[in-house]
Amino acid sequence: MNDSTNELIRIDAENTRPFLDEPALAASQDRIREAMSVLRNRSGAGNDFLGWIDLPAEGLERLQPLRDTAEEIRAESDVLVVVGIGGSYLGARAVIDALTPPFGDGGTEVVYAGNHIDGSYLQSLLRHLEGKRVSINVISKSGTTTEPALAFRVLRQWMQERYGPGEAARRIVATTDAEKGALRSVADEEGYRSFVIPDDVGGRFSVFTPVGLLPIAVAGIDVSALLEGAVAMRDQCADADPATNPAFQYAMLRDALYRRGRYIEVLASFHPELHYVTEWWKQLFGESEGKDGKGLFPAAVTNTTDLHSMGQYIQDGRRMLFETFLFAESAREDIVVPEEQDDADGLNYLAGHSFAEVNRQAMRGTALAHHAGGVPNAAILLPEINAATVGALLYFFETTVALSGYALEINPFNQPGVEEYKRNMFALLRKPGYEELRQKLTRQLGEEG
């Protein structure tokens, strides 16, 4: 098994080899090759949700209206509030956090609402918006998902009180279904500008649609470079040779380790700006693989921070997991460790070294320590963190999870288990039509009906 080498992503699988013999790898390679055939022929379960495959190339051809809207928002607003949950905000947040300075750059601030149910957060957000010029991008296929619908109800009223109905409508952009749904009806009635979520793209695969691209463009990120990186990765992921197709190789490793009893994958980033990439990855892999009693459990840590907490379990806990390191080999910005005359903290041995070099050796030392402790680990290496490499990385993960799902003989593109908690919540909140279930649940909870 050769490591893949290419411009945008490199896979280092050296620390998995002692845990996998050639027959295991050969069997996994056969399963992933068959999965590639199913994906390429669009013959598998969920094949009506494969629009993500060609999204980056198609997106490059129709960027101008989105760019125009983004530039108008940037010119007229200090803050854009993105209202959405799951795939309706995680992709945008992953890219924005990865590619913008952590303490702001003076451009339009992008903040988030509707991704949980917490009144104190929303009150704090409203206070933050006071005195600022505000626009909203509300994102929902249906417009009835509880979390974003609740937040949008509050924010819409606030905008109307602040600006008046006409100006509020001009400052609200809806990203939703082309023809149907509650949000589509409201957008048409109020005259909101709108962008369409394609019918053949699931939410967790929607980062290269206007769902992700509009907030990303408002944040000042080069969306063309992002899409071009994804297109380059799409072309590479079409290669049937695992030595030159990083998604094939990653999917093969995951499959082989899973079938050897490694049921948890820990994605370990060594860059705080990639934290929300790992959050997006958790949704992508958790919703895609976790069904029919199958699938790896996706967990994530940000090192070296979490080496001082979760690192203990990974090093010495139950041997049911493996790690995938996510690391950029070149820093976008850096700082050199200064020398001090008295060396009170004992760090003069690092004087003259860059933080990037110290971080790199921390990653290498962690990989060696965890490998010695019985934890297989591989590394996804980016040359640097920029729009093209992030676009490539997200597309690489999308392709990998499709291959992994088909290798498990499941539908990677549905999420039937997501609805169960909603039914219970609706019943407990006395939503019409849920009376029978409410009575059952209140009995279980020992409450009066």
Catalytically annotated residues? 287, 308, 422
**Contact yes or no for 401/45 (Cβ under 8 A):** no
Structure tokens at 204: 């967790």
> Cα–Cα distance between 253 and 325 in angstroms, integer?
13
> Cα–Cα distance between 151 and 90 in angstroms, integer?
16
Give the amino acid at 438: R
CA 298 to chain CA mean position, Å: 12
Residue 8 class from Cβ within 10 Å (0-12 exposed, 13-18 middle, 19+ buried)?
buried
Query: What is the SS3 assignment for 49?
Result: helix
> Cα–Cα distance between 24 and 257 in angstroms, integer?
9
Query: What is the SS3 assignment for 173?
Result: strand
Pair type for strands 264-269 and 321-328: parallel
CA 414 to chain CA mean position, Å: 17
Q: List Cβ neighbours of 375 (8 Å cut-off, separation of 6 or more).
A: 314, 315, 319, 321, 322, 323
Q: Return the number of other C-beta atoms located less than 10 Å from residue 127's C-beta.
A: 9
- Residue 277: C-alpha distances to residues 109, 166, 209, 438 (Å): 19, 37, 17, 38
> Cα–Cα distance between 325 and 377 in angstroms, integer?
7
**Contact yes or no for 208/230 (Cβ under 8 A):** yes
> Cα–Cα distance between 236 and 301 in angstroms, integer?
28
DSSP 336-402: BPPP-SS-TTS-GGGTT-BHHHHHHHHHHHHHHHHHHTT--EEEEEES--SHHHHHHHHHHHHHHHH
φ, ψ of residue 109 in degrees (nearest 5): -80, 135
Give the amino acid at 151: A
Pair type for strands 377-382 and 172-176: unpaired
What are the residue ranges of helices labelled H in 136-196? 146-163, 165-170, 182-190
H or E stretch covering 321: strand 321-328
